Amino acid sequence: MTLDQYRSTAKRVADPFVSLFVRLGLTPNQVSVLAVVLAGAAGVAFALGGSNPLFYLLGAVFVFFNGALDVLDGELARELGTDSLAGDLLDHVLDRYADILLLVGLAAGSGRYALGLAAVTGVLMTSYLGTQAQAVGLDRVYGGLVGRADRLVIIGLGAAAAAFVTGTVAAGPLGQLGVVGGLLVFFAVVGHLTALQRFYYSYRELA
């Protein structure tokens, strides 16, 4: 399902915006910081969504721009010839904080903190296994059920839906779940499954 396989297509779409950023004098690190600021704004909007669902829609807009900037910072670095290991490290650290801010915001807005914890650990383990493969000598692993690009699309669409669907959409052992609760369950389950997929792939290559 992962959208990361379409990185070459995303690059073509990003080129005009990269040129604009070059003319504006923005650096890749500034774009990365702006991306995580937008993720924080989305998290705050999601937290407020519990009292006013329209905040979920605002948060979805912030998620869209966060995802766009997440593509543009790397492309800008390559265009300027300033891509480096330090910039790659910064980008990954800020992406993980962005993931945490988004999911914590969803958990706060829905009041489902246990689900939020499960979702956060699933997402962080997915990202960890992707980069740990590279640390042990393999290529960085982007595969699996859900990559970061997929997560941002799902969060954005799910949050937009939560702005208009405020009732229960599913019920089961976890009680009644709205759209946001369903999102957290999805990331809790699929996040850990994706991490295990990446672990299996990496371990098989090394064994």
| Residues known to be catalytic | 95
- CA torsion 30-31-33-39 (nearest 10°) is 160
Comparing CA positions, the residue from 150, 19, 140, 157 lying closest to residue 91 is 140
Burial (CB < 10 A; 0-12, 13-18, 19+), residue 148, is buried
How many angstroms separate the CA atoms of 187 and 127, rounded? 13
- The dihedral built from the CA positions of residue 44, 47, 52 and 55, taken in this order, carries a sign that is positive
Reduced to 3 states, what is the DSSP secondary structure of residue 163? coil
| C-beta separation of 199 from 129 below 8 A | yes
What residues are paired with 176 via a beta bridge? 171
DSSP conformation class of 84: -
What's the first-to-final CA gap in the chain, in angstroms?
A: 26
